[in-house]
Structure 1
Amino acid sequence: MRVLLLKEPRDEESGPDPYLKELESHGHKATLIPVLSFKFVSLNTFSDKLFQPEKHGGLIFTSPRAVEAVKMCLDMGGRREEDDLVKDDQHRVCVNLCSVCALLCAVQSLGLKPLGEDTGTADVLSRLIIEREDTNIPPLFFPCGSIKREVLPMALRENGVPLETLTVYQTAEHPDLEKNLKNYFTEQGTPASIAFFSPSGVKFCLEVVRRLSGEQLNEIKFAAIGATTQDAMTAEGLCVSCTAEKPTAEHLAAAIATALQ
């Protein structure tokens, strides 16, 4: 059966996209359509903060784009060694929400030692940080996107864990999203399942998907990568057929395969 994945493809240098691979192993043909576009901002400010690790108690990453911004700062400064970024084990600690498997790989590629890679949601990650950190530490540094949710920052601040945030990328709708969706439905028809990977994806895609699906909308098995995305889908009146137990390719493919049986 055909499955439509509303997410950007994995970088070609990183090998085949794991979501395509996992769904193929279940006998389904999956197609990726990128939903979002990104513009990096404040990189000079970000670079200045990164190379003063003594001023922060750790880094929080919740997206591969934030890690990509770190790599851009390293390149901007001509700094290639991880020791330019961190000075000792204390500052090598990276608290990380692994919303997609690519995030964990990206963090590890910086030479950082992540914690919390299995937390899956901002709520669970914030509890891990609150349990682990003292309130008298230097502020944790959270490079984030322009449409981040406030769950994690609010939870940390309410519990006295100091936090500094900086927007390092802006998120917008992919300029070819509607065209790509129209081409997909024209060439392949209505898919058996559509998977959303973020509340932003729901916001940008749902109206077009509804229009293109027409009367077949109720026949589609809608899948969510996690609880936050599921809530966004439900709020828009979608019947969510399945949600990945963990935000990984393996778990999402298994959930979709079960829903399509």
Structure 2
Amino acid sequence: MKVLLLKDPKDRDSGPDPYIQELGLYGFEAALIPVLSFEFVSLQTFFEKLSHPDSYEGLIFTSPRAVEAAKLCLGENSKNEAWRNSLQEKWNTKSAYVVGKATASLVEEIGLAPQGEKCGNAEKLAGYICASMQKSFN
């Protein structure tokens, strides 16, 4: 039986798409159709904000795309050097909250220590962040 799978294709470097694999185990032949396109905007503004960690209490990464945006910001040589030489260390004195394990893994790749990965959704993460902030102020 054939099915249409309407989603972003998985990155080729990370192996076969898990949906296609799982559907195949049940006898389905999935045709993957990418239905969305994505464009990052405000990367310069994002880097300007990342350049001033003292102005913020922490970071909240709501998706792997948010981390991808950070990686793009830091991809240029001069910006990457600034990140490695001082900004990463300053941000590591603050909290970097994430929704989910995939996002946590990507946050680790840019040298930050993620928190809240087991929350699983925005509502639970918000509660986790509020509880963490209350502890730090008491």
Change (3 A) 1:24 1:83: farther
| Aligned sequence identity (%) | 46
For 2:80, the equivalent position in structure 1 comes to 79
Report matched runs for 1:212-231 at 5 Å: none
- Max radius of gyration: which structure? 1
State the TM-score, normalizing by the size of structure 1: 0.44
- Which has a greater percent of strand? 1
For 1:117, the equivalent position in structure 2 comes to 117
Report matched runs for 1:207-246 at 5 Å: none
C-alpha contact 1:53 1:87 (8 A) present in aligned 2: no
Report matched runs for 1:27-176 at 5 Å: 27-76=27-76, 77-79=78-80, 82=84, 84-88=86-90, 89-91=92-94, 93-98=95-100, 102-134=102-134
Q: In the aligned structure 2, how far is the partner of 1:102 from the partner of 1:34? A: 20
What letter matches 1:95 in structure 2?
A: Y
Secondary structure of the structure 2 residue equivalent to 1:38: coil
Secondary structure of the structure 2 residue equivalent to 1:41: coil
Higher-RCO chain (CA-CA 8 Å, sequence separation at least 6): 1
Number of matched residues? 134
Cα distance, 1:4 vs structure 2: 3.1
Which structure 1 segments of 5+ residues have no match?
A: 138-261
Cα distance, 1:37 vs structure 2: 1.4
What letter matches 1:11 in structure 2?
A: D
Q: Deviations over 1:2-42 (max 9, x none)?
A: 44332101122233223323333444333322222122211
Q: In the aligned structure 1, how far is the partner of 2:126 from the partner of 2:119? A: 9
Which structure 2 segments of 5+ residues have no match?
A: none
Secondary structure of the structure 1 residue equivalent to 2:97: strand
RMSD of aligned C-alpha atoms? Answer: 2.7
Secondary structure of the structure 1 residue equivalent to 2:68: helix
State the TM-score, normalizing by the size of structure 2: 0.77
C-alpha contact 1:119 1:125 (8 A) present in aligned 2: yes
Cα distance, 1:135 vs structure 2: 9.5
